[in-house]
Amino acid sequence: MGLYLALFFIIFLLMGIPIAVSLGLTCVFASLMGPLSEFFAGVLSASDLYWDCSDIISELMQKTFNSSNGSALMAIPFFILAGNIMASGGVSKRLVGLAEAFLGHVTGGLALVATVASTFFGAVSGSAPATTAAIGGVMIKQMEESGYDPAFAGAVVAASGTIGLIIPPSLTMVLYGVSTGVSIGDLFIAGIVPGIIICLVLIIPEYVISKKRGYKSARKFTGAERWKSFKDAFFALMMPIIILGGIYCGIFTPTESAAVAVIYGIIVGIFIHKELHWRDIYKLVLKSARSTAVIMYLMITADILSYILVSYQIPQNLAASILTVSTNQIIVQMFMILILLVVGTFLNNSAAMVLLAPIFYPILISLNIDPLFFGIIMVISLAIGHNTPPVGLCLFVACDIGGVKLERLVKEVAPLVLVMILAVFVMNCFPQLILFLPNLLRR
C-alpha cells in the first residue's frame, strides 16, 4: 500500500497538480482502493460499493473537521500575519542598520551584516522567503555597490534567510508541534541555540571568501552611532523576547502569543516606526489568509493521509524495517536526516513537515529519541531545502532581487549549504546543543 500511495502522489505531482491537492487526491484514492479492488474482484456488488464508498467519504469528512478543530492551529494565521506586519513596518532596515553598526568594519563586513540581520529578522518573521526578501531588498544592492559579486551577495542573503525558519517563533515548529503533540513553547526555546549556531557557521565561510576575494569593509561606527542604531532597532528586537518570555513565564500560551505578536506588530509599525498605515492592514490580512488557507489544507490532507498510513500500519512497518538495519540511535537519525535533506529539495518545508512528522514520530518513540530534539533537527534539515533547486524558494527570491542567474547563485551558495549540513550532523551527535536551554528553563 505504501508503494501505491507514493506512486499516486508522484504521478499527481508530475501532472503539475499543486502539492496540497495532490495530497488530497492521494488520500481519496487510497481510501477507495479497498472497496474498488473488491468490486472488480467480484466480491462487492454495485450497491455495496456505493454504500461502502459513501461511508468512507463520510469518514473522511469527519476526519477533515477533526483535523482543523485544534486550538493550537489558531497560532498559524496569527504568526503569518505578525510576520507580514513586521516585514512591512520598517523593521528590516533598522535591523540591518544595527548589524552594520557593530560588524560593518570587519573584513567581509556586509556579508556578516546580512547574516546577522537575517537572524534578527527571522526572530520576527518566522519565514525563510520573507527574511530573504526583506534583508535582500536592503543588502544585495548595497553589497554590489561595495564591490561584492552579485551572485555571492544573493547567496549570502538566500542562505541566511534559512535562519528565519530555525530561530523562533517559527511556523515550521508550530506545524511539527501540531502534528506530533510536542510543546510548541519548548520547540521555540529549543530553536534559539541552533539558530545562533547556523548563523555562526555561515559567518565562517563568508569571512574566508570575502578575505580571499578582497571585499572591502565599511567604516567603523562610533559609540554614539551604535547606540542610535540600537535604539532604532529596539522595538523589533523586543518582539521575540516578549513572545518567548510570555510563554515561559506563563503569561500566555503559544497560541495567545501569536495574537500578542500581531498586536505588537501593529503598534510598532503604525505608532512607533510610522511606516505602516491602517489601509495596509487589510491587504496584509488578505495575504496572510491566502497563506493560511494553503497551510491549513496541507495540514488537513496530511493528517488524513497519516490516518490512512497508520490504518495500514505503514509507519510501524517502516520503523521495524529501519530497526532491522540498525538500532543505533545516531545511525538511524543520520539516515532520517538524509531523507529530510532529499525531500526538502523537492517539497516546500510546510508540506514536508506535515507529511513526514507523523511517519517519523513512531520511529523516534521506539528508539527513545527525544521528539523535541529531533523536531529541531527536522526543522533545520528541511530549511536547508530552501537553498537547493528545484524548489529553493530563497534562491529564487534572491535571484529576482539581485537579477542573477540561478546557475551562478547555486555555485556561490554551495559552500554555505555544505556548512549548514555539517552543522546539522554535529548537532545530531551532540543533542545537548539543542536540549540545553529547554532543560535549563524547566528546572
Contact 372, 438 (CB under 8 A): yes
pLDDT digits over 388-402, tens only? 877 677 888 888 888
* Angle in degrees, 0-180, between the axes of helices 393-402 and 128-145, rounded to the nearest 10: 30
pLDDT digits over 89-98, tens only? 777 778 888 8
Cell of 374: 529531533
Calculate Rg over the CA atoms of the chain.
23
Q: What is the mean pLDDT of the chain?
A: 83
Question: Is 70 exceeded by the pLDDT of residue 2?
Answer: no
Q: Which of 375, 131, 179, 207 is nearest to 296 (CA)?
A: 179
Contact 354, 299 (CB under 8 A): yes
Taking the CB of residue 338, how many other CB atoms lie within 10 A of it? 13
Q: Which of 294, 418, 395 is nearest to 354 (CA)?
A: 294
Question: Is 70 exceeded by the pLDDT of residue 403?
Answer: yes
**Cα 385 → chain centroid:** 10
Question: Is 70 exceeded by the pLDDT of residue 235?
Answer: yes
What is the arithmetic mean of pLDDT over 400-427? 91
Given this model, what pLDDT does residue 72 score? Answer: 66
Q: Which residues of 285-301 are buried (b: 16+ CB within 10 A; e: fewer)?
A: eeebeebbeebbbbbbb
Higher pLDDT pick, 384 / 58: 384
Q: Which of 18, 184, 52, 156 is nearest to 96 (CA)?
A: 156
SS (H, E, C) the chain: CHHHHHHHHHHHHHCCCCHHHHHHHHHHHHHHHHHHHHHHCCCCCHHHHHHHHHHHHHHHHHHHHHHCCCHHHHHHHHHHHHHHHHHHCCHHHHHHHHHHHHHCCCCCHHHHHHHHHHHHHHHHHCCHHHHHHHHHHHHHHHHHHCCCCHHHHHHHHHHHHCHHHHCCCCHHHHHHHHHHCCCHHHHHHHCHHHHHHHHHHHHHHHHHHHHHHCCCCCCCCCHHHHHHHHHHHHHHHHHHHHHHHHHHCCCCCHHHHHHHHHHHHHHHHHHHCCCCCHHHHHHHHHHHHHHHHHHHHHHHHHHHHHHHHHHCCHHHHHHHHHHHHCCCHHHHHHHHHHHHHHHHHHCCHHHHHHHHHHHHHHHHHHCCCCHHHHHHHHHHHHHHHHHCCCCCHHHHHHHHHHCCCHHHHHHHHHHHHHHHHHHHHHHHHCCHHHHHHHHHHHC
Question: Is 60 exceeded by the pLDDT of residue 179?
Answer: yes
Contact 13, 19 (CB under 8 A): yes
Given this model, what pLDDT does residue 76 score? Answer: 78
Angstrom distance (rounded) from CA 348 to CA 354: 11
Least confident of 18-32, 104-118, 218-232, 421-435: 18-32
Given this model, what pLDDT does residue 136 score? Answer: 84
Q: Which of 414, 352, 370 is nearest to 172 (CA)?
A: 352
Contact 395, 158 (CB under 8 A): yes
Angstrom distance (rounded) from CA 75 to CA 410: 34
Contact 196, 407 (CB under 8 A): no
Cell of 177: 508541534
Q: Which of 359, 353, 355 is nearest to 313 (CA)?
A: 359
Higher pLDDT pick, 18 / 335: 335
Least confident of 21-35, 245-259, 410-424: 21-35
Question: Is 70 exceeded by the pLDDT of residue 67?
Answer: no
pLDDT level of residue 49 (50, 70, 90 thresholds): confident
